[in-house]
Structure 1
């Protein structure tokens, strides 16, 4: 058996002559446990929000999106895009023309993003799962174009799920000059959309308050982008390796196109969430370091109490290194116990929140996308929490031991 570990284990679990040492040792374990539990719970909540946002985008965004590196639009028949469409893993490819316009209905108006898509957009995404109303996904019938607004647009403009008459859409003329300054409307292309009886709700303001989905033919006419597209979006066949297909598309695209997966399509959003998670980790680690000061106090008092034992062990042949490791092992045992118990309690709290949702986001049901704080345990995070707690605890144990044992074992 490891001699220093054996002695340290006896010191940890044996009753001390001074009750204060027992109390401080218990406080040390509890402090490390609570800090570790907080790390597990807080990081899991951040993971829960991350996964929740990702799931919301999944209903509306493609698995892979290809956009031009330079400029806003590119020819739809570009050979590189055609080659991407022909990859065996591609199940659905949808051309998209997207740009800003002015929407006017009655006496209300607002800036919107007109997103013109192919008729297969409902196969590309899960749009049908987020439609609300008594109609269905329809973009065009003969020369009549339909528009599906985000739910916040419908509310702000007084449209409802099915509006009467036409929704006017205005976009600036892209070519030529404004000749008649007395009539500014000559500088705009105007067209109209009718209601298919549905609105969509992604539960993300980025879409619900700004996007109107319509036919790509309408968008190309409105923005004077005939034969062009602003992005090409893909859905892959079931079982396809997205990373592998993305790599193939990047090789085809070269430096002319950017190939984006779902997370890269919202890089800013997920980057901010990741930064928040890292900052929370850093702040809680500082709290953990403060909790570990109890380990320093506990070991300092223990070294003083066991000074006679240290001298006796040195006379019996124990080296200074072995005596040092005895007290280091005690600090390490305290931090490891706190880390393991804290992780187990944190995982238990996360499971209880997942199953029963004890902690609510608000008092009003339905005010949020989810009623309770979402929790998602990523076991890679748990591993790094364990490494962090053990490292901080072991580092704290070294502070009181360094030099103290040398003084205790010096022979008169």
Structure 2
């Protein structure tokens, strides 16, 4: 009965057309706010997914690194145990160290990352090549793959020149000798054969090389590495595998998921998303004021109906629930229209890229969009809360109204 009354009040023409107009203005404001929230949150999801896909090309699903210091020393038994851990598909060893690279008169500082033959199974750099080839062979000299920024800084032609690049790395545990600085530095030669482009953070920083080159240059023990990088089997839980590996290797190492390896970036993106959500929610708050005005005027118009209901034995709570239901219908209709608009906008953007990114220098041409079910749930809860709060005062006022039957 409550919803029948509320629906009838919503659909019926009012004696004053202003009440109908204000009610539909409330519906429109909620629809606009809902569509804006879903669309903008979906754009943030799209950018987050894009960043994750870029990072997945370079960073592994799980990474085992030393809890303190720069390297960890693992025995063959420990490596076999890690590989045999349930959920682990591939394990790659890596050694990273900063170095000075020099090509003729050009020089720059880069991070040399030595990897083994399993690296292509845990990352996807080989799919981001823009020039040359992904080949870390060492038959005719250690070959290297450069980031696009490193290639530019050194003026290297990876496709038409096989000119070596000189590498200089400080010796481990050696103090700098001012009189004979060359005794404090190890040097080697690498041959660039390819260039990758992922994003500036990687392109201007990394050079990939065979792990044996780094091990020889840094005088490292056979089982010593900077980290282990892991790819998981399809369907394996990152959290469960992480806990298994942490229990296996103890507190001397830290096992990080891809999000934890880039916690700052992901935290900033999530913070921005929540800030935008809060600001766009004010559109719904404005709609709430329209609802308060519309319901207040409806209470005044329906005084006779309220009096008759109470005279027939209706309790104050019944009257209050009727007008609360009226407010929720207004909010519900607005949210349905808003969700429909948002879905249409997002689908058009996904398929046709209607809104383009300016500048023409980004990896994609149009704003990326990903609709997530949890965003729809969040916005629905927000609308429900705002609808109840906006309806509470008019509904309470209607419930407190005294019976004023007049004798005729």
Q: TM-score, normalised by structure 1?
A: 0.92
Question: Alpha carbons of 1:59 and 1:405: their partners in 2 closer, same or farther (altered >3 Å)?
Answer: same
Q: Which residue of 2 aligns with 1:216?
A: 211
The unaligned stretches of length 5 or more in structure 1 are none
Q: CA deviation at 1:224?
A: 3.3
CA deviation profile, 1:163-215 (whole Å, cap 9, x unmatched): 44221222222223334x2443443222221122x11111x222111000001
Hey, what's the Cα distance between the residues in 1 that align with 2:88 and 2:304?
76
Shift of 1:81: 3.9
Q: CA separation in 2, counterparts of 1:77 and 1:137? A: 28
Q: Say if 2:319 and 2:395, in contact at 8 Å, map to a contact too.
A: no
The answer to whether 1:328 aligns with 2:331 is no
Alignment match, 2:155:
158
Residues 222-237 of structure 1 aligned to structure 2 (within 5 Å) = 222-227=217-222, 228-237=224-233
Counterpart of 1:62 in 2: which secondary structure? coil
Aligned residues of 2:107 and 2:153 also touching (Cα < 8 A): no
- Determine if the alignment matches structure 1 residue 305 to structure 2 residue 301: yes
C-alpha displacement at 1:105, in angstroms? 1.8
Judge conservation of contact 1:122–1:137 (CA < 8 Å) in 2. no
SS of the aligned residue for 2:247 comes to helix
Q: Secondary structure at the match of 1:403?
A: helix
CA RMSD of aligned residues (A): 2.1
Distance, in Å, in 2 between the alignment partners of 1:272 and 1:239 is: 28
Shift of 1:272: 1.2
Which residue does 2:202 correspond to in 1?
207
The aligned counterpart of 1:133 is 131
Structure-2 separation of matches of 1:87 and 1:405: 65
Distance 1:237 1:325 in 2: 53
Q: Does 1:374 align with 2:371?
A: no
Aligned to 1:392: 386
Deviation at 1:88, TM superposition (A): 5.4
Conserved? CA contact 1:65–1:259, under 8 Å: yes
Corresponding residue of 2:192? 195
Change (3 A) 1:409 1:384: farther
Which has the higher mean CA deviation after the structures are superposed, 54-63 or 388-397? 54-63
1:339 maps to what in 2?
Answer: 335
Q: Tell me the residue number matched to 1:258.
A: 254
**Is the Cα contact below 8 Å between 2:132 and 2:195 reproduced in 1?**
no
Match of 1:314 in 2: 310
Match of 2:50 in 1: 52
Question: What SS does the aligned partner of 1:16 have?
Answer: coil
Structure 2 length normalisation: TM-score?
Answer: 0.93
**Which residue of 2 is the match for residue 25 of structure 1?**
23
What is the number of equivalent residue pairs in this alignment?
404
CA 1:116 to 1:363, structure 2 compared with 1: closer, same or farther past 3 Å?
A: closer
Mapped to 2, the partners of 1:229 and 1:55 lie a distance apart of 26
Q: How does 1:257-276 map to 2 (within 5 A)?
A: 257-276=253-272
Alpha-carbon shift at residue 252 of structure 1 (Å): 0.7
Distance 1:339 1:88 in 2: 45
Stretch deviating more after TM superposition (387-396 or 315-324):
315-324
Is residue 30–residue 283 contact of structure 2 (8 Å, CA) maintained in 1? no
Contact 1:307 1:408 survives alignment (8 Å): no
Contact 1:49/1:375, CA 8 A, preserved across alignment: yes
Q: Does structure 1 retain, via aligned residues, the 8 Å contact 2:62–2:258?
A: yes
Aligned to 2:3: 5
Structure 2 CA distance for partners of 1:408 and 1:31, relative to 1, 3 Å: farther
Task: Tell me, in whole angstroms, the C-alpha distance in 2 between the residues paired with 1:409 and 1:155.
Answer: 84
**1:320 touches 1:409 (CA, 8 Å); kept in 2?**
no
Rounded to whole Å, the distance in 2 between the matches of 1:226 and 1:209 is 29
Partner of 2:142: 145
Deviations along 1:333-357, one digit per CA (max 9) or x if unpaired, are: 1011111221121112111111111
